[in-house]
Amino acid sequence: MSFFKNIFSSEKKETLDKGLEKSKTSFFSKLNKAVAGKSKVDASVLDNLEEVLVTSDVGVNTTLKIIDRIEERVAKDKYVGTTELNQILREEIAGLLSETNSGEATEFSIPEGNRPHVIMVVGVNGVGKTTTIGKLAYQFKKQGLKVVLGAADTFRAAAIDQLQVWADRVDVPMIKQAMGSDPASVAFDTLQSAISSEADVVIIDTAGRLHNKINLMNELTKIKRVMQKVVDNSPHDVLLVLDGSTGQNAFEQAKHFTAATEVTSLSVTKLDGTAKGGVVIGISDEFQVPVKYIGVGEGIEDLQVFNKHEFVDSFFK
């Protein structure tokens, strides 16, 4: 039994392996074609590898970093066989992820100190934002933490209704106002309620629209400013939810949201239904924001704490 299986339950590891299956199959199919008939890693293999990484949604900048690192190893070792390429790729991708992700967490937890711990969740509509909030609430509650949700996406009535469904399912309180209400007002009420009920965690949903970056920036800034009047230094975590199946579009969303507000962590969803799992590597590296959670299935347990060792182990298994 591997070290990774020891720190992660076999059931969770199996779910992760299965969730990354499409990405892994697609990647290695391309990689095998790239090195076909070659015994040595040379310029043509590196050119082909560059194309494999870019078409696997790792992103251009991150791909160039990986290629540069492999070129350095080839130059130093003089001869690198194509049979070693898998292991070299594994090491270099793990190295890149290490620069942004600690890779130590295996369970859902919140830092010691701030109570309530306030998480503001951002992301466009349709990426799995509400589902992520619901699954997070479930996981935190399972850890014995008291959770309060805030429906600050007042732009769509459906957003409030969807969050209410999750609040009822997980059996946690949700603070809401009428559609069209001031989102900052909802956040303010949510934090006051959390303090009076001595909650451990507050998760605030926000509107997911990108039609005007200035409006988005102003709205998120106002929500943060109002929250800080109730809880010092809140939000303690700004979690950007991205749909992994959208590939390069997820990069664009990350660019918009990191420009609009200070994003401190990422959750990448829907990895089980796509061959674009490489996006996790690229976005984490490109924006220097740690991936905190990944969605690898539709079940309530299928939101996992991201662990770089786990991810690389499953991807290169």
Question: Which DSSP string corresponds to 123-136?
Answer: --TTSSHHHHHHHH
Q: Kindly tell me if the per-residue pLDDT of 5 is higher than 80.
A: no
Confidence band for 311, pLDDT divided at 50, 70 and 90: confident
Could you tell me if 16 and 311 are in contact, meaning their C-beta atoms sit under 8 angstroms apart? yes
Q: How far apart are CA 7 and CA 158, in angstroms?
A: 39
- Both tokens assigned to 230: 């109730």
Question: pLDDT tens-digit profile of 76-126?
Answer: 876 667 678 888 888 888 888 888 776 566 678 888 888 899 999 999 888
Per-residue pLDDT tens over the stretch 256-270: 888 888 999 999 998
150: Cα within 13 Å, side-chain hemisphere: 30
The 117-122 sheet, strands edge to edge: 174-175, 147-152, 201-206, 117-122, 237-243, 265-269, 291-295, 303-305
pLDDT band at 170 (very low <50, low <70, confident <90, very high): very high
Token pair 């010691």 in the structure block, residue? 112
| pLDDT recorded at residue 187 | 96
Q: What is the pLDDT of residues 180-216, one digit of tens each?
A: 999 999 999 999 999 999 999 999 999 887 656 778 8
Q: What is the DSSP string of the chain?
A: --HHHHHS-HHHHHHHHHHTHHHHHHHHHHHHHHHTT-SB--HHHHHHHHHHHHHTT--HHHHHHHHHHHHHHHHHHS--BGGGHHHHHHHHHHHHHHTT------S----SS-SSEEEEEE--TTSSHHHHHHHHHHHHHHTT--EEEEEE--S-HHHHHHHHHHHHHHT--EE---TTS-HHHHHHHHHHHHHHTT-SEEEEEE----S-HHHHHHHHHHHHHHHHTTSTT--SEEEEEEEGGGTHHHHHHHHHHHHHS---EEEEE-GGG-S-TTHHHHHHHHHT--EEEEE-SSSTT-EEE--HHHHHHHHT-
Query: How crowded is residue 126: how many other Cβ atoms within 10 Å of its Cβ?
Result: 10
pLDDT of residue 313: 85
Per-residue tokens: 124: 């466009």
**For 9-54, what is each residue's pLDDT tens digit?**
677 788 888 888 888 888 888 888 877 777 788 888 889 889 989 9
User: What phi and psi values does residue 32 have, to the nearest 5 degrees?
Assistant: -60, -40
| Cis ω for the linkage preceding 235 (within 30 of 0) | yes
Q: What is d(CA 39, CA 301) in angstroms, rounded to the nearest whole number? A: 43
The CA distances from residue 146 to 36, 106, 180, 190, 197, in Å, are 55, 20, 28, 13, 9
Report the distance separating Cα 289 and Cα 268, nearest Å: 12
The 10s digit of each residue's pLDDT in 207-250 is: 887 656 778 888 899 999 999 999 999 999 999 999 988 888 88
pLDDT tens per residue, range 122-165: 998 889 899 999 999 999 999 999 999 999 999 888 899 999 99
Residue the block writes with tokens 């270099």? 92
